[in-house]
């Protein structure tokens, strides 16, 4: 007669095998921190297949020894079981007290914490030994059980590690949970931990080759006649003199004014600025937003290489007609305007705006 026990067991099995169950369990026992010291709540340990067979063999020998009243067999089995339990303690101790810390290089503003979609995102962390007399050997660290790298942390030392993960799409990419495990010392036990150090990498849109805006190829009419002359002379229009300031070039010092007793003066020149280039979604109407972001990413890279002054406008993602009726707390997103500028920092601010646009 079916009492429903089989159905209940099957239901519990499906519950524990759900994809989100293990993730919630890891979040509970190993919460997200930028720094984590491994301990009882974050370390798991089980015997390996070799360890289980070793323990089974030792138990069998012990039972045979008791049955035959053979003291040598009993001593041998007891030594094997003692080794099995000692390996448990040493394996756990190899992870216990180890401190993992996310490196400051993982801040999105740092060069090491950004990449383009389709590349490998890099994450840096440090491992600190539990004490001056504690070493951690035979460690395996990675983002997945199949892709790990061996590590050793000497006594009282700090070891750095760099892990990579594929950056499939743009945005602020969180690093997957770490897989840290060890089978020290004899491979009879395996201890592991799944820490999350809250590391992130800023993923820029993948550049898609496209034509540059017409304004980027335009040369000012008033500059066409003297463009080559200005390049030869290395100067532009003379504005006047000002008092010398520390750091001014010697080439711009007015030596005649100094000879006349007027003090040390510096010549000022007006440099003719290149026309500003303004990027937006307008030239790409009808295309998918991700394709447009890829084209804008390509244009930013090309124009920055040409040392152009670049400005950009990104549209809002919520329109006025999408406002829910009767919702007074609803806020309309405004377009993002970035003033024209140039330089490496400005280039990355533009790429960051493209990466975080949603």
Q: What is the pLDDT along the chain (358 residues), one digit of tens a residue?
A: 444 545 554 554 455 445 454 444 445 544 556 788 999 999 999 999 999 999 999 999 999 999 988 999 999 999 999 999 999 999 999 999 999 998 877 665 666 688 999 999 999 999 999 988 899 999 999 999 889 999 999 999 999 999 999 999 999 999 999 999 999 999 999 999 999 998 999 999 999 998 888 876 665 544 444 444 334 334 456 667 778 777 677 777 877 877 777 778 887 765 555 678 899 998 888 889 999 999 999 999 999 988 889 999 999 864 444 444 445 444 445 788 989 888 888 999 999 999 998 7
Quick one: pLDDT at residue 254? 79
Question: Which pLDDT score, from 0 to 100, does residue 321 have?
Answer: 43
Query: Quick one: tokens of 72?
Result: 């040598």
**Spatial distance between the Cα atoms of 193 and 148, rounded to a whole number of angstroms:** 13
The pLDDT of residue 227: 45
Q: How many CA atoms lie less than 13 Å away from 131 in the CB half-sphere? A: 6
Rounded Cα distance between 22 and 316, Å, is: 38
- In angstroms, the CA 218 to CA 212 distance is 11
The pLDDT value given to residue 202: 93
Q: Cα(35)–Cα(126) distance, rounded to whole angstroms? A: 10
Q: How far apart are CA 31 and CA 197, in angstroms?
A: 9
- Helices 49-68 & 71-95 angle (0-180, nearest 10): 160
pTM of the model: 0.70
Structure tokens at 175: 């690093």
Hey, what are 323's tokens?
């406002």
CA atoms within 13 A on the CB side of 61: 17
Residue among 127, 99, 106, 105 nearest 42 (CA): 99
Max CA pair span of the chain: 118
Distance CA 328, CA 321 (A): 14
316: its two tokens: 């809002």
Which structure tokens are listed for 212? 């540059």
Enter the tokens of residue 310. Answer: 């670049």
Predicted confidence at residue 127, as pLDDT, reads: 94
Q: Are 336 and 102 in contact (CB under 8 A)?
A: no
- Nearest to 315, CA basis, from 340, 341, 297, 289: 289
Buried b (16+ CB within 10 A) or exposed e, 301-334: bebbeeebbbbbebbeeeeeeeeeeeeeeeeeee
Q: What residues have CB less than 8 Å from 266, skipping those under 6 apart?
A: 241, 242, 243, 244, 245, 248, 252, 253, 254
pLDDT at 225: 46
Is 2.40.160 the CATH classification of the domain at 28-204?
no
What pLDDT shows up at residue 72?
92
Measure the CA–CA gap between 335 and 350, rounded to whole angstroms.
14
Q: Which pLDDT score is estimated for 113?
A: 80
pLDDT at res. 188: 96
């Amino acid at each position: 007669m079916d009492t429903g026990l089989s159905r209940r067991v099957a239901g519990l099995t499906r519950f524990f095998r759900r994809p989100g169950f293990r993730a919630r369990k890891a979040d509970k026992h190993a919460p997200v921190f930028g720094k984590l010291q491994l301990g009882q709540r974050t370390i798991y340990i089980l015997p390996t297949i070799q360890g289980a067979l070793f323990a089974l063999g030792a138990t069998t020998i012990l039972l045979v020894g008791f049955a035959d009243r053979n003291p040598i067999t009993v001593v041998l089995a007891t030594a094997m079981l003692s080794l099995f339990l000692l390996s448990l303690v040493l394996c756990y101790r190899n992870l216990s007290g180890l401190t993992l810390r996310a490196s400051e290089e993982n801040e999105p503003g740092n060069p090491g914490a950004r990449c383009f979609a389709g590349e490998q995102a890099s994450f840096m962390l440090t491992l600190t030994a539990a004490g001056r007399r504690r070493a951690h050997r035979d460690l395996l660290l990675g983002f997945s059980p199949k892709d790990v790298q061996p590590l050793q942390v000497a006594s009282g030392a700090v070891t750095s590690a760099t892990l990579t993960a594929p950056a499939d799409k743009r945005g602020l990419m969180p690093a997957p949970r770490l897989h840290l495990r060890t089978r020290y010392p004899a491979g009879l036990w395996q201890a592991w931990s799944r820490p999350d150090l809250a590391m992130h990498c800023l993923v820029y849109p993948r550049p898609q080759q496209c034509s540059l805006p017409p304004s980027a190829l335009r040369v000012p009419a008033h500059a066409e006649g003297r463009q080559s002359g200005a390049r030869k002379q290395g100067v532009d229009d003379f504005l006047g003199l000002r008092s010398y300031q520390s750091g001014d070039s010697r080439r711009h010092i007015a030596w005649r004014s100094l000879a006349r007793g007027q003090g040390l003066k510096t010549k000022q020149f007006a440099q003719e600025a290149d026309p500003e280039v303004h990027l937006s979604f307008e030239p790409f109407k009808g295309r998918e937003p991700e394709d447009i972001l890829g084209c804008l990413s390509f244009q930013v890279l090309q124009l920055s290489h040409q040392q152009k002054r670049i400005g950009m406008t990104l549209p809002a993602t919520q329109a006025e007609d999408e406002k829910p009726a009767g919702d007074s707390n609803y806020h309309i997103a405004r377009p993002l305007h970035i003033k024209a500028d140039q330089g490496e920092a400005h280039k990355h601010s533009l790429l960051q705006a493209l990466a975080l646009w949603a």
